[in-house]
Amino acid sequence: MLKGNPDIGVYTALPKGCELCRLGGKLVVYITGECGDSCYYCPVSKERFGKDVMYANEAKVETLRDFLYEAYRMNALGAGITGGDPILALNRVVRLIRMLKDEFSSDFHVHLYTSGRYVTYDVLRELQAVGLDEIRFHPVKDEYFKAIEKALNFNFDVGIEIPSIPHEKDYLEKVIKWGIEKGVKFININELELTERNFQPLNVQGYKVNHGLTGVKESAEVALSLLRKYETCNLALHYCSSVYKDVVETRTRFLRIIKYSSKPYEQGTPEGTVVRAIVRSNMDLSDYGEKIGEGVWAISPEFSNLFSEVLLVEEHPDQRRLRISEKLVYPKSE
């Protein structure tokens, strides 16, 4: 039986990694932007794709220990390792999985994405040895399916994750049938996203956005029709919408960061942002907040009425502190 909301996601059952993602509990590990494939629909930004850079959630990091710090900030329940193709940074991946498991216990759930291009038995043995829990393949070429068959001989959960490209419905159905036959545990079908990087090749094929911020027209309809057709099959099917990725996933993770890492004077909002008041004063306001500059203090908005001029700032709670809005108010003059 299908469950869920078509605007967010529909499924027969969810992989463990997706369950934890819905709780906002998955640390997003971008381990490298290097990739041997160049899919025309790839949504990865120009700043990341093809570059050997690392990001923990939205923050660029320099060392593997930075991932531990970010995991603590959000009280993460697990991590999803993505790229690029993480297998091109296998030594880094293996070290990080070991660090995460040693730091947070073997129950810390780790899943990994790969095309399968570079997956060998040796690679799979290394991943199993450090405790990888789940591997997700995006087989962009027919020969990559051999990597999935190899992975089925190991202890971690094996699944397929592919975009719903409207003109490739027959191929999607072929993948589902193959997965049923081979015994993969799940197939995730993602709504095709139109982004700054891929909009030209997608526009050439007539694709336009008509769902949320990035969801391509008819992508959802194709995915949902296949879920209805195969909802009684013996593997977990899951359609994940662009709205979920753009709004729900990020918001839920931000709410978790706020719960575990926001400062006492920061006021969380239901949208997953934090609000603080910035004031100028020569007095010691340590009881209300903290000093952020010479004569400048960040305090709780609750105390705004004590000052004649206040800058109310709304920001994302992650390390970038992306500013959403700011408003200068004059409480004492009201």
Closest C-alpha among 47, 33, 60, 53 to residue 318: 60
Question: pLDDT confidence of 213, banded at 50, 70, 90?
Answer: confident
Return the SS3 of 294: coil
Handedness of CA 171, 173, 176, 180 (dihedral sign): negative
Backbone angles phi, psi at 330, to 5 degrees: -125, 75
DSSP state of 106: T
Separation CA 234–CA 185 (nearest Å): 8
Tracing tokens 């000052």 back to the chain, one arrives at 307
Find the helix or strand (DSSP H, E) in which 83 lies.
Answer: strand 78-83
pLDDT of residue 206: 87
Question: pLDDT confidence of 212, banded at 50, 70, 90?
Answer: confident
Contact indicator for 266, 37 with CB cutoff of 8 Å: no
Provide the whole-model pTM: 0.93
Query: Nearest 5 degrees, angle CA 132-CA 252-CA 198?
Result: 75
Q: How far is CA 122 from the centre of its chain?
A: 28
Closest C-alpha among 69, 72, 112 to residue 90: 112
pLDDT of residue 333: 58
**Tokens standing for 109?**
């759930």
Check pLDDT > 80 for residue 334. Answer: no
Contact indicator for 29, 56 with CB cutoff of 8 Å: yes
- The tens digit of pLDDT for each residue in 34-44 reads 999 989 999 89
More confident residue, 199 or 14: 14
Burial of 178 (0-12, 13-18, 19+ CB in 10 A): middle
pLDDT of residue 248: 85
Domain range annotation of the chain: 3-257, 264-333
Separation CA 27–CA 253 (nearest Å): 9
Q: Look at the domain 3-257 and name its fold.
A: TIM Barrel (3.20.20)
Q: What is the mean pLDDT of residues 232-256?
A: 92
Contact indicator for 247, 308 with CB cutoff of 8 Å: no
Lowest mean pLDDT segment, chosen from 96-105, 107-116, 240-249: 240-249
DSSP E strands in 192-261: the ranges are 209-211, 215-216, 236-240
Return the SS3 of 8: coil
The residues facing 139 across adjacent strands are none
Separation CA 326–CA 111 (nearest Å): 38
Q: What is the mean pLDDT of residues 189-210?
A: 90
**Tokens standing for 303?**
């105390």
**Which CA distances in Å does 69 have to 76, 273, 319?**
10, 20, 11
From first CA to last CA, the distance across the chain in angstroms is 57
- The tens digit of pLDDT for each residue in 142-155 reads 999 999 999 999 99
- The tens digit of pLDDT for each residue in 75-91 reads 999 999 999 999 999 99
